[in-house]
Amino acid sequence: MTLTERLYLPAIANGMRITFQHIFKKKATVQYPEVQRPIAPVYRGHHVLKRDEAGAERCTACGLCAVACPAEAITMTAAERKKGEEHLYREEKYAAVYEINMLRCIFCGLCEEACPKEAIFLTDRIIPSNYGRNGFVFGKDKLVEGINDRVDVTKRQTPAVIEFKKDKFHQHNITINDLVDLDEH
């Protein structure tokens, strides 16, 4: 090894050259959260539990989303709707507890596909960071959409599906009362 090499001068100079080259290159990173990258319209992020047109929770705690979930991220406890709660819950059975562990979730969207009540959808919202694991277990307080803050999920549905659902007999979220109404007309 020569004296120059022993002093590491060529290596230091080469390192500085590479550093200066990168200073003037376009940055690969963005200053999140002030700057956010554009995401696809069908991006799958934070789930939402939808309400129906009248504001009642659509979820009937059937458990199909939990069965479909490959990550076993969904748990729920069912309860029976009481008299006078019809405005709160669309069906006679509802989810008293509904939780998704966002650390387990792989955002595959299978829960959305499995749901027969059009109750659960993935939105374009990014899951916020947290300091503890428990903070990533999202309950109904974070999942059910606000009564005055409804979430638009039309981008998650293809035009063909939206067209298909215009036919009331083909709607998956139809209740027995709706069917009686349709029969009468």
**Interaction site with ligand SF4 (CB under 6 A):** 59-65, 68-71, 73-74, 76, 100, 105-111, 114-115, 117, 119-120
> Which is closer to ligand SF4, CB of 113 or CB of 163?
113
- In sequence order, which residues have a C-beta less than 8 Å from that of residue 154 and are 6 or more positions away? 162
Q: Distances from the Cα of 143 to the Cαs of 35, 89, 110, 117, in angstroms?
A: 26, 15, 17, 16
- To the nearest whole angstrom, how small is the minimum distance from the Cβ of residue 125 to ligand SF4? 13
> Which is closer to ligand SF4, CB of 108 or CB of 163?
108
- In sequence order, which residues have a C-beta less than 8 Å from that of residue 74 and are 6 or more positions away? 65, 66, 98, 99, 100, 111
Burial of 63 (0-12, 13-18, 19+ CB in 10 A): middle
- To the nearest whole angstrom, how small is the minimum distance from the Cβ of residue 29 to ligand SF4? 27
The pair of structure tokens assigned to 67 is 């069965």
- To the nearest whole angstrom, how small is the minimum distance from the Cβ of residue 67 to ligand SF4? 8
> Which is closer to ligand SF4, CB of 105 or CB of 156?
105
Q: Which residue has the tokens 């709160």?
A: 88
- To the nearest whole angstrom, how small is the minimum distance from the Cβ of residue 139 to ligand SF4? 14
> Which is closer to ligand SF4, CB of 29 or CB of 118?
118
